[in-house]
Structure 1
Amino acid sequence: MEEDRVRLICKRTVVSTKPVEQGQLYRFSVFDHVMEPNHIRLVYYYQSSKTREPGEITKKLRESLAYTLNCYPIVTGRLVKETDGTEENRWKVKSNDAGVRMVEARATGTVEEWRRSVNREEELKLVHWEDMYPLPYYWSTFYVQLTEFESGGLAIGLSCSHLLADPVCAMMFVRTWADLTLTRNMMAPPLFHPLPPRRFSSHKLSNNQLLSHYIKSCSLTAPPSNVTEDNMVTIILLFPDPMVQAGENESGLTAFEMLAGLFCVCVSRAKGKRNELTDMSLCLDVRKILRLDQSYFGNCMVYHKVHYSKPVTTKDRLLLLSYVVQEIHNVTKGLDYDTVMDLVEWLGSNNNNPISNGSDLVCTNLENMGNSRPMMFEEDLILSHVSCYVEGPVAGGGQVIVLPSPSGEGPMSRVVMVTLPQREMVKVVEDELLQSFSPVLLMETTKLLNQ
């Protein structure tokens, strides 16, 4: 693979076009605080049929980003720890209009050529990230990278601290930026408000497995030593509509549940498990459960351990898949308002460490981030793919992220990003059960897998 296909041009700061209220404090929710050590990286790939001067599209998007930041004062502020009589030694954002850092870059070839030959390490060069400085007040919690491809196309990278946002609102930020760039209209303004208040009732804690998972996971101080970023590889697969539908054998199942079950079975076999299944946690958006708008800005995704109701008794992988999918379905349908509020109230009354998913396989549901409106910055910029990375202790021993597929692939089709240790990934991609779903490899990583 070629060296230095991405060339950095400059790094600058982009501030909002309107002054913000100086000194205003934005407090984090209990869901925000437990995500502190983690961060998110998104990469949006756009194909273009128009020839532009170098830097032309970057200049336009830089200007529209400044306009977008008017709606996101929490993004342009800086982290502080201030005692206000109610909270001590907890992060807050102080509004000071310090802006976000933007990196401008150039890449060789076209977007299509890049995606045919890129791997995890190179893709992360398209989304700049810096760990927290010793002086946090000067550290930007959000970074944007605009990479123009010399022969056509654009990559937009967004990274942010998970303390401020989950993948849902990070993606909504990019959509808002696109809407304001194309039409100057904001379709879904961000909402900044607290989580639902404490319940004033005689509700008592029941057998709450969601809460039990957090109690255990917040006591873990570090990921297991045998799981490191150095040996992790990522592949991206498209599962066509008919293939996902063919795997369903009961009504009411979602594509996410089907695909999470599929990778649970395949990863279990790759780990050498014969009479048991790998530990797995689901990452699920609970905005709707908590009766919050989808535009709620902040962390509102929870990690729920999958508890299998009975031991594995079959070697028939289709029967096993059906069993696992049903167990996952039971978890997703079992989440309700009281279950999540038990967790919110426990987090609010305990001095918690950040959550760690240990060596679990973490399956994240982002399939509802699709939209009937194309995410367009300009008429001739066509979105071809979105990559999402969640990095930190919450990532567990491997990740499966289920995303909406490109338009025209069918309502049940999905894109799945899979991150695993290299030795396990080789076995997973060769698994007969996985191959029976006829996935299409969207990003070529065979060179890395064959090393």
Structure 2
Amino acid sequence: MSEQRSKVLVCSKLTAVSSHPVEPGKTHLLTPLDQAMGQHSLHLVFYYEKNPFRSFDWDPLRVSLSETLSLYSPVTGRLTRGEAGNWEVKCNDAGVRVVRAKVSVRIDEWLKYANGIEEKDLAFWEEMPENPNTWSPFRIQVSEFEGGGIAIGINCSHMNADLTSLILFFKTWTEVHQQQAIANPPVFSSALHGRPLPKANTKSAKYYVTKSIAEAPSVKMASTTFKFSNSVIKQCLSEIRVNCPDATPFDLLAAIFWMSVARLKGSKDEHTHSLSICIDFRRLLKEPLPCGYFGNALHFSLLSLREKDMIPGELGHVVDAVHGHLVGIKEEEILSAVGWLESQKGEGGKFAPPFRMYGPELTCVNTEHMVDGDQSLMYTAMFEENVKPAHVAYHVGNVAGEGLIMVMPTPEEGLARTVMVTLPEDEMVKLCEDESILRLEPTRLLSGGL
């Protein structure tokens, strides 16, 4: 982090530990899917317009964090190599790195004028060193804005957790802070290890084979965030109801942005465009994983359409294709992909090296599972009653290739959604001028300089 040029000034760094010691010798095993996510990291930033801690008082926050960490022993542990050479977490209660910082602008100015690169200063991160024995795989940053308001950034290695796990950890922290019952207690059992895995001959397993050897060009990327209102999404869904009566906001927005990015590339008529779709599969198995399952429960699958299907007049067709693809993902597809990862063990039981899961194709992340009715899981994370996050940002580290699209809930109830987009810099400039997106009158956040 460049502190000289940054509007974010680090004030202090410390280590938070659990309020109850971990039993000696405890370890947390990582699944094949966890191991495969090793090239990526996760970065969440929760923005609150009102500082619930009153004048940056750290003590109440520290106490509730320590109590929360007592429930999450893998979070305070350290990554180490097991007997076969695979990563596991040594639950030694070494603690979580915590950074406190101040931001030299108001929170409304930041959300309007800052960009995705600057936002990384609110979620301090250090890449895993060759020897991670003293490296904290989870990091937290609390930043206070001028005039009130805070941002709380949480980072972790993607091997340790996925987005759902990280959000539930944060939400548990807010529940402990308010002395409320924990809605989704963490579950650390290796639930995926004990399930029969089908043979790796499905489309998903074959896609993972291709993904594991694919290379992505390294280009300068840019990010911006589009916020779409409930009324606009409702109107758009009604317009394509004939083609896809059961379409979700994700189906619609994934199709719109996929088509827009495809047009930027200006391919020939016979060209095929592909979209990698990432979903959470906790609820999709016949024996569902608990919502609080801590680890990775993500499935990547590939949808391809021809160039002639990606023209503006075919929006309803593309929405229907996205929806039908998601509905068609069954347990066999999901478990066969996990089974393929398991089958890649070498001599002695060591897993194959991790590969880029987000890419090289354009990747779109679906978070509809976090919306229950009109309520969004991430926007119910409140340290003080009725003080909801004003915005939640989500980034994945080491994204390369064609880019990343994340469709997420907003503070507004109903069908409103936020779309966070990371693309090669030259394509992002063009996307921000795309008429099919601008006609939906989005509010742009964190896109300064574009």
- 8 A Cα contact 1:25 1:95, kept in partner: yes
2:91 alignment partner AA:
S
Taking the aligned partners of 1:106 and 1:342, their CA distance within structure 2 comes to: 47
Cα drift, residue 313 of structure 1: 3.0
Cα drift, residue 355 of structure 1: 3.2
Taking the aligned partners of 1:295 and 1:264, their CA distance within structure 2 comes to: 31
1:313 alignment partner AA:
K
Cross-structure match for 2:108: 112
2:344 alignment partner AA:
N
Cross-structure match for 1:428: 431
Shift in CA distance, 216/315, structure 1 to aligned 2, threshold 3 Å: closer
Q: CA RMSD in A?
A: 2.2
Taking the aligned partners of 2:313 and 2:154, their CA distance within structure 1 comes to: 39
Cross-structure match for 1:304: 301
Taking the aligned partners of 1:184 and 1:381, their CA distance within structure 2 comes to: 15
- The secondary structure found in structure 2 opposite 1:313 is helix
Per mean C-alpha deviation after superposition, the further-off stretch among 296-305 and 106-115 is 106-115
Cross-structure match for 1:138: 134
Matches within 5 A, 1:33-432: 33-48=35-50, 52-53=54-55, 55-56=56-57, 58-83=58-83, 88-196=84-192, 208-220=202-214, 223-225=215-217, 227-228=218-219, 231-248=220-237, 249=240, 250-275=244-269, 276-290=271-285, 291-308=288-305, 311-313=306-308, 316-319=311-314, 321-351=315-345, 352-356=352-356, 357-370=358-371, 372=375, 374-379=380-385, 381-392=387-398, 396-408=401-413, 411-432=414-435
Q: Which runs of 5+ in 2 are unaligned?
A: 346-351
TM-score (norm 1): 0.89
Cα drift, residue 133 of structure 1: 2.2
Taking the aligned partners of 1:297 and 1:397, their CA distance within structure 2 comes to: 29
Taking the aligned partners of 1:49 and 1:415, their CA distance within structure 2 comes to: 23
Q: Which runs of 5+ in 1 are unaligned?
A: none
Shift in CA distance, 318/355, structure 1 to aligned 2, threshold 3 Å: farther
Cα drift, residue 307 of structure 1: 2.7
- 8 A Cα contact 2:273 2:304, kept in partner: no
> Which runs of at least 4 in structure 1 moved beyond 6 Å after TM superposition?
none
Taking the aligned partners of 1:386 and 1:115, their CA distance within structure 2 comes to: 11
Cα drift, residue 135 of structure 1: 2.2
2:225 alignment partner AA:
I
Taking the aligned partners of 1:61 and 1:314, their CA distance within structure 2 comes to: 52
Taking the aligned partners of 1:116 and 1:303, their CA distance within structure 2 comes to: 33
Cα drift, residue 184 of structure 1: 4.4
Number of aligned pairs? 427
1:239 alignment partner AA:
F
Taking the aligned partners of 2:194 and 2:122, their CA distance within structure 1 comes to: 42
Taking the aligned partners of 2:317 and 2:204, their CA distance within structure 1 comes to: 21
- 8 A Cα contact 1:101 1:144, kept in partner: yes
TM-score (norm 2): 0.89
- The secondary structure found in structure 2 opposite 1:224 is coil
Shift in CA distance, 316/187, structure 1 to aligned 2, threshold 3 Å: closer
Cα drift, residue 270 of structure 1: 1.2
1:441 aligned to 2:444? Answer: yes
Percentage identity across aligned positions? 33
Q: Which of the numbers 6, 9, 12 marks the counterpart of 2:11?
A: 9
Give per-residue Cα distances to partners, 1:282-302, cap 9 Å, x unaligned.
111011112112111100011
1:354 alignment partner AA:
P
Give per-residue Cα distances to partners, 1:260-303, cap 9 Å, x unaligned.
11111000111222534533201110111121121111000111
- The secondary structure found in structure 2 opposite 1:382 is coil
Cα drift, residue 197 of structure 1: 5.0
Shift in CA distance, 192/200, structure 1 to aligned 2, threshold 3 Å: closer
Per mean C-alpha deviation after superposition, the further-off stretch among 92-101 and 344-353 is 344-353
- 8 A Cα contact 1:368 1:404, kept in partner: no
Give per-residue Cα distances to partners, 1:303-359, cap 9 Å, x unaligned.
111133xx333674121x222222222221111111111122222121333232543
Give per-residue Cα distances to partners, 1:413-434, cap 9 Å, x unaligned.
1011011112101111211111
Cα drift, residue 199 of structure 1: 5.7
Shift in CA distance, 375/358, structure 1 to aligned 2, threshold 3 Å: closer
Cα drift, residue 200 of structure 1: 5.8
- 8 A Cα contact 1:267 1:278, kept in partner: no
1:360 alignment partner AA:
E
Give per-residue Cα distances to partners, 1:196-252, cap 9 Å, x unaligned.
456669x6665x2111111111223xx423x33xx2111111111232233332211
Shift in CA distance, 301/315, structure 1 to aligned 2, threshold 3 Å: closer
- 8 A Cα contact 1:71 1:190, kept in partner: yes
Taking the aligned partners of 1:102 and 1:113, their CA distance within structure 2 comes to: 25
- 8 A Cα contact 2:273 2:307, kept in partner: no
Taking the aligned partners of 2:195 and 2:148, their CA distance within structure 1 comes to: 55
- The secondary structure found in structure 2 opposite 1:278 is strand
